[in-house]
Amino acid sequence: MLTSEEKMHEIEDSLHKKLFRSIKKTDEINHENLHKKAAQLLEESGLILPTQAKEKIIANVINKITGLGPIEGLMQDPEVTEIMVNGKSDIFVERNGRLEKTEIRFQSDESLLQVINRIVSKIGRRIDESSPLVDARLPDGSRVNAIIPPLSLSGPILTIRKFPEKSMQLDDLLGFNSLSQQMAEFLYFCIISKQNIIISGGTGSGKTSLLNACANLIPKDQRVITIEDAAEIRLDLPHLIRLESKAQNMEGKGAIPIRTLLKNALRMRPDRIIVGEIRGAEAIDMLQAMNTGHDGSLTTVHANAPREALLRTETMVLMANLDLPLPAIRNQVVSSIDIIIQQERDIDGKRRITHISEIEKDFNSTEYKVNDIFVYSKQKGEHKATGYIPKMLSKLKEYNLEVDEGFFKKNS
């Protein structure tokens, strides 16, 4: 005997087939017309259902035809920031920083694959056995990754990172307790005085959100160029140019990597350059940009601690195969980067800044010297100043900013 859920799916399947067959080539396919037709077909079937159940069935059927099927509602939910479809029956979302499994499911691998094809076809891509992997950006800015058999052994897999509806501001992060008011003020001083900043953190730690919030502090009379693999940076700046790298086509040609865009950006007279994330040889170009008149530039890197971020950057420079000796690379890193902000995602799902650190400009040392200015105490559950007085204070005077050393007094 069928369960009530299985019965509902059976009704949906039947209505979906009837509605699809009823659509003529000359029909205008919109939500209103489809709803009328679906309601009429359901009425003609003679089924007696509660109004709420009818509307749910009709909505699901319309989403199968025009939308993203069962996950259409998740795309419309402002609290959902990421959707992870791990096969037809396992659908997870990230909501308010926490992962949770939903009760939503696709009826079959085929229906999931139809939705994936509907998504990628709208952006001029295709996915099949000969090209079983797609990583792209939707028209609304959301990032989509799809992978299907034979690469996936769990059936079709779909991951969507939704593009935020509004640009992230530092006040938003304050509201989330990601940092303290004192740290927010210090970051303002860093941005205004054109410190070169790297935001470090693990996957899903909130690096891009923090990058957005910091970059939105840039004075509006400055020309800013952003460079990304998939455009996620959203800034409220009037003089903004957004560049996005290009993947190779199906013939393995036509790729335009971040490194090429970075080199070109230097010819576009930027005041600041923002790279969404450095992952490889483009690190050397970013460091050179920071060190040749483009102070105040920002980027992110995958690393779990401030010093580790510098070592990771060093490794990426080596990937450029420039035959530079290690001391020369380290001097380049030290001279280019001023501030590292370490971001972390706790086990409770909260994203917090754990360190704001200054790089000591010691060109004779064989090791990086990183001085923490602010840290997050997990024991006390609060951010605090370490008492270290950053050297960048001397530069603030050039920007008519006065900060007393007492501002950095160590918290008890």
Same domain, 120 and 264: no
pTM over 0.75: yes
Give residue 100's identity as a one-letter amino acid code: E
**Stretches in the chain below the pLDDT threshold 50:** 1-2, 25-26
Instruction: Say if CB 295 and CB 194 are below 8 A apart.
Output: yes
User: CATH code at 272?
Assistant: 3.40.50.300
Contacts of 55 (CB under 8 A, 6+ apart): none
Same domain, 250 and 106: no
Of 163, 180, 198, at which residue does a domain stop?
A: 163
User: CATH code at 72?
Assistant: 3.30.450.90
Instruction: Give the relative orientation of helices 51-66 and 31-44 as an angle to the nearest 10 degrees.
Output: 130
342-364 residues labelled b (16+ CB within 10 A) or e (exposed): bbbbeeeeebbbbbbbbbeeeee
Same domain, 136 and 202: no
Q: What is the pLDDT of residue 64?
A: 67
Contacts of 253 (CB under 8 A, 6+ apart): none
Q: What is the pLDDT of residue 297?
A: 95
Phi and psi for 252 in degrees, rounded to 5?
Answer: 80, 20
Same domain, 226 and 369: yes
Q: What is the pLDDT of residue 1?
A: 45
Instruction: Say if CB 282 and CB 275 are below 8 A apart.
Output: yes
Same domain, 202 and 112: no
In angstroms, the Cα distances linking 150 to 85, 91, 108, 252, 262 are 17, 20, 17, 20, 35
Q: What is the pLDDT of residue 72?
A: 81
Q: What is the pLDDT of residue 101?
A: 92
Same domain, 181 and 312: yes
217-235 residues labelled b (16+ CB within 10 A) or e (exposed): ebeeeebbbbbbbbbbbbb
Q: What is the pLDDT of residue 3?
A: 57
Q: Which domain holds residue 155?
A: 68-163
User: How many domains is the chain built from?
Assistant: 3
Q: How far is CA 368 from the centre of its chain?
A: 29
Same domain, 180 and 207: yes
Of 33, 66, 99, at which residue does a domain stop?
A: 66
Q: What is the pLDDT of residue 25?
A: 47
Separation between Cα atoms, residue 24 and residue 96, nearest integer Å: 43
What are 366-379's pLDDT values in tens digits?
899 999 999 999 88
Give the number of other CB atoms < 10 A from CB of residue 319.
13
Q: What is the pLDDT of residue 220?
A: 94
Query: What's the token pair of residue 26?
Result: 């000359």
User: What is the DSSP pairing of strand 197-201 with strand 298-302?
Assistant: parallel
In angstroms, the Cα distances linking 298 to 102, 206, 215, 374, 407 are 37, 15, 8, 19, 24
Same domain, 239 and 380: yes
Average predicted confidence (pLDDT) for the chain: 87
Of 42, 66, 90, at which residue does a domain stop?
A: 66
Same domain, 380 and 273: yes
Same domain, 6 and 131: no
Q: What is the pLDDT of residue 16?
A: 67
Phi and psi for 291 in degrees, rounded to 5?
Answer: -100, 5
Q: What is the pLDDT of residue 54?
A: 78
Phi and psi for 350 in degrees, rounded to 5?
Answer: -75, 140
User: What is the DSSP pairing of strand 240-244 with strand 298-302?
Assistant: unpaired
Same domain, 356 and 270: yes
Q: What is the pLDDT of residue 29?
A: 55
Same domain, 19 and 103: no
What are 207-257's pLDDT values in tens digits?
999 999 999 999 999 999 999 987 788 898 999 999 998 877 666 778 899
